Amino acid sequence: MLTVRARPGHATQGLLGAGRLVFPCALGRGGISAAKREGDGATPLAAMRVLSGYFRRDHFRSARVTRLAMAPIGPDLGWCEVPDDRNYNRPVRIPYGASHERMLRDDRLYDACLVLDWNIAPRRRGRGSAIFFHLSRPGFSPTQGCVAVTARTMQRLLPLLSDRTVVKVLR
């Protein structure tokens, strides 16, 4: 289990615990919320299982050293974020008619991107989409609701993770 708490006095930055190890992380621009909604920028206050992941073959080779199912990110991979769409909070092939997030990002945040089971099954319209565990920006600037760590931290954690790992966001 990985535990995540906000850093005291910093609602958008956190501390991620993995056993005895503690790493800094970025949280959503809306802090941690028990009432997560699409577009609020909050990280859900929840226990979320790691389902699988994606990685950039050209940038993040360490993704092969894990027990998680990891798929390479191609130029046609997107993630639907429209609550009324039939593929809401699911991967889609782009171009796609409804609004979606492009997974092949120039900013490298998704060079290693793990899918958390927030609002996956059952999916509830408007409860939030694309809640991932991914790479952080320099300085741990806020995410759109995800948990993010440095590439070095991700490389350290990946060998320890499986589809039984839970990311527990606490207050």
pLDDT tens readout for residues 118-146 = 999 999 999 999 999 999 999 999 999 99
Q: Return d(Cα 5, Cα 82) in angstroms, integer.
A: 29
Q: 65 falls in which pLDDT band (50, 70, 90)? A: confident
Tokens of 103: 């997974």
Query: pLDDT at position 61, please?
Result: 75
Does the structure show a pLDDT above 90 at 8?
Answer: yes
Q: Where are the domains of the chain?
A: 2-169
Does the structure show a pLDDT above 90 at 11?
Answer: yes
Q: Return d(Cα 35, Cα 137) in angstroms, integer.
A: 25
- As a whole number, the mean pLDDT across the chain is 96
Q: Is residue 54 classed as helix, strand or coil in its secondary structure?
A: strand
* For residue 75, cis peptide bond before it (omega within 30 degrees of 0): no
89-101 residue pLDDT tens:
999 999 999 999 9
Does the structure show a pLDDT above 70 at 63?
Answer: no
Q: 18 falls in which pLDDT band (50, 70, 90)? A: very high
Q: 13 falls in which pLDDT band (50, 70, 90)? A: very high
Percent of the chain with pLDDT over 90: 95
Query: pLDDT at position 59, please?
Result: 85
Say what the pTM is.
0.97
DSSP code at position 137: P
Q: 38 falls in which pLDDT band (50, 70, 90)? A: very high
Does the structure show a pLDDT above 80 at 26?
Answer: yes
Query: pLDDT at position 150, please?
Result: 98
Q: Which residue has tokens 């577009």? A: 39
